[in-house]
Structure 1
Amino acid sequence: MFDIITDSACDLPREEIVRLDVTVVPFYVSTDGQTYLKEGEEMPVRDFYQFMVDQPAVLPKTSLPSLEDFEKVFRPRAAAGRPVLCLCFTGKMSGGVGSARNARQLVLEDYPDAVIEVVDTAAATVSEGATVENAAAMRDAGCTLADTLTWLEGTRPTNQIFFTVGNLDYLIKGGRIGKVTGRAANLLNVKPMIHFAEGEIFSGGMARGRQKSMEKAIEQLLGYLAERNADPDDYRIIVGYGYDVEEGRRFWMQLRAALRARYPDSSCEVGLLQIGATIAVHTGPYPLGVGVMRRWKPRS
């Protein structure tokens, strides 16, 4: 058996974290650029979204977990001789995985025989959550840490997200899209489609209006499955939403209906979770999309 550590960018709800027996190292959130609070602990995600909605002119910030934050969870496990698998938010968007690796080295100086594996998942929010769920399923089935690492590495390219945002304001503020292009798109009510794969964000096209962007995200997921001639039962599929809980649930229902229509013999389950601050600072309060990853299953 091994222990699983992750960071709060996985966005799994507290009850799921407890059920999976996973330890979360939080990112930090700031609404004033000076005081940083632990995401999900000292500042609930719902409060963070409410601030974004109430103060649209202010750009909140996040800060990565420190070396000391990871050391605090690694060290007692090393002392107890418990192997650790640490699954981190994509290193292409954050230095959190670097903090974890530095903490590992520090702990190994005192416990040279400790087993601490730090993994850049190349994932975020719903896709990182799927990675954690797969790792927990393998651990609970008795898989070794080495086998779990091999499987996660081999299936990492299957881990993708198709999503949209409410408008382009936060992408403009963050310098991820030009001001002229972004403002023109906002005036025309054009919604950007964003594709997240291998730890990076790519353009997924455009859609006219919110409903069309939701439909396009569903089309992109169905296309992903069709390209692989895949059975959706073999994949973890998770809807992520931002501030608007009802919209998230409505999108979740639309996606489930589309999957059932395309795959009538499938019993595929679709998860639903709220996207956290680590992604929301870049997308604004209305991100909405679907993540997908190959599902680990025990051999029959």
Structure 2
Amino acid sequence: MEKIALLTDSACDIDDETIKKYSIEILPFRIIYKDREYIDKVEITPKEVYDSMKYEIPKSSLPSIDDMESVFDRLERENYTHVVAVTISSGLSGTYNALKMVSKKHNKLSSYVYDSKSTSLGEGIVLKECGRLLDQGRSFSEIVNCIPGIKKSMHFFFVFGTLEYARKGGRIGRLSGTIGEILDIKPIVYFDDDQGICFTRHKVRGRKRSLSKMIDIGNDFLAKCPCDVYVVHGNAREEAENIYNRISGLPNVENIYMIGQISPIVGVYSGPGTVGVCYVERNGENQVY
């Protein structure tokens, strides 16, 4: 009989209830300051990271090989037979390649490591849907075969509070970031499915207009079918709640979730003020992707 574990890294954003319900294993990144280091989401909170960024922008490092080995060893001891792992985009981190390497050393476990080509909700929602499939009694191979369809059903967009942190972290071109700040351009950003890096979907002048544009984009998906909607933010709760309330009243919103703070590891590059929205197409409670 199959015993399937779900595994991810701390760049993943999803609610604590989902993590507990499906016993999702989380490999932590490290948040590194000049004179100290923290385990992401364990020794430091997202709010603490965002609040300290006015004084120092920390660096980050991927989960250690020792941590990965330790999790796989424990899963073997607990008689798991299969692992479904969803990682931060390989375009942003070496986590995917490292986890692939470690998984191959553990022959007692049949493992599938999926490069989300995204981060934050882009990882979390895939894990949540895999958990739902587990609850339905789906096999390892069935879950793996469904993941591309899950990914295709998701549409994740976000707006930075400022382009400063993405520019400093090398996530956008220095010139485009500088010009964007001068002109008050607030791009609507998404992750490319091929490269797993950020691209601009729309360029909008002004903060309020950019946040409203994310709702307008969602209307295109809601016009086609019912959607679940997820909202995250980086120290921008008031604006995120406003987006949440505005979307809640739209037709075809099946469920809406306020996930809360974007993980610190993502926040290092996105910065405070970031707001993200993900629309997930739904076709019934037991939909098959």
Give the structure-2-normalised TM-score. Answer: 0.89
Q: Name segments (4+ residues, structure 1) moved above 4 Å.
A: none
The worse-fitting range, judged by mean Cα deviation, of 183-192 and 136-145 is 183-192
> Residue in 1 aligned with 2:215?
218
> Residue in 1 aligned with 2:233?
241
> Residue in 2 aligned with 1:284?
271
d(CA) in 2 for partners of 1:125, 1:181: 24
Instruction: Show CA shifts across 1:164-214 (max 9, x none).
Output: 111111122123334444233223322122122423311122212111011
Structure 1 residue matching 2:106: 3-state secondary structure: helix
CA spacing shift, 1:150–1:46, aligned 2, 3 Å: same
> Residue in 2 aligned with 1:271?
257
CA spacing shift, 1:180–1:84, aligned 2, 3 Å: closer
Residues 84 and 111 of structure 2 are in contact (CA less than 8 Å); yes or no, is this contact kept in structure 1? yes
Residues 234 and 272 of structure 2 are in contact (CA less than 8 Å); yes or no, is this contact kept in structure 1? yes
Please list, as runs of the form range in 1=range in 2, the aligned pairs for 1:175-194 lying within 5 A after superposition.
175-194=170-189
> Residue in 1 aligned with 2:242?
250
Residues 242 and 248 of structure 1 are in contact (CA less than 8 Å); yes or no, is this contact kept in structure 2? no
Q: Does 1:48 align with 2:56?
A: no
d(CA) in 2 for partners of 1:289, 1:267: 17
d(CA) in 2 for partners of 1:222, 1:140: 31
d(CA) in 1 for partners of 2:287, 2:31: 42
The residue type equivalent to 1:289 in the other structure is: G
Residues 6 and 22 of structure 2 are in contact (CA less than 8 Å); yes or no, is this contact kept in structure 1? no
Residues 67 and 102 of structure 1 are in contact (CA less than 8 Å); yes or no, is this contact kept in structure 2? no
Instruction: Show CA shifts across 1:216-264 (max 9, x none).
Output: 11112222444xx2222xxx3211111122221112112223xx2xx2x
Residues 18 and 128 of structure 2 are in contact (CA less than 8 Å); yes or no, is this contact kept in structure 1? no
CA spacing shift, 1:293–1:197, aligned 2, 3 Å: farther
Q: Does 1:136 align with 2:131?
A: yes
> Residue in 1 aligned with 2:13?
11
d(CA) in 2 for partners of 1:294, 1:41: 32
Residues 162 and 221 of structure 1 are in contact (CA less than 8 Å); yes or no, is this contact kept in structure 2? no
Q: Does 1:76 align with 2:69?
A: no
CA spacing shift, 1:246–1:299, aligned 2, 3 Å: closer
Structure 2 residue matching 1:203: 3-state secondary structure: strand
> Residue in 1 aligned with 2:190?
195
Gaps of 5+ in 1: none
Structure 2 residue matching 1:9: 3-state secondary structure: coil
> Residue in 2 aligned with 1:92?
91
> Residue in 1 aligned with 2:203?
206
CA spacing shift, 1:131–1:295, aligned 2, 3 Å: farther
Measure how far apart 1:30 and its partner are: 1.6
CA spacing shift, 1:293–1:231, aligned 2, 3 Å: closer
Measure how far apart 1:49 and its partner are: 1.1
The residue type equivalent to 1:62 in the other structure is: S
The residue type equivalent to 2:105 in the other structure is: L
Q: Does 1:166 align with 2:161?
A: yes
Structure 1 residue matching 2:105: 3-state secondary structure: helix
Greater percentage in helix? 1
Gaps of 5+ in 2: none
CA spacing shift, 1:156–1:212, aligned 2, 3 Å: same
Instruction: Show CA shifts across 1:258-279 (max 9, x none).
Output: xx2xx2xx35111112211222
Report the aligned-residue RMSD. 2.1
CA spacing shift, 1:206–1:24, aligned 2, 3 Å: same
Percent same amino acid at aligned positions?
25
Give the structure-1-normalised TM-score. Answer: 0.86
> Residue in 1 aligned with 2:113?
118
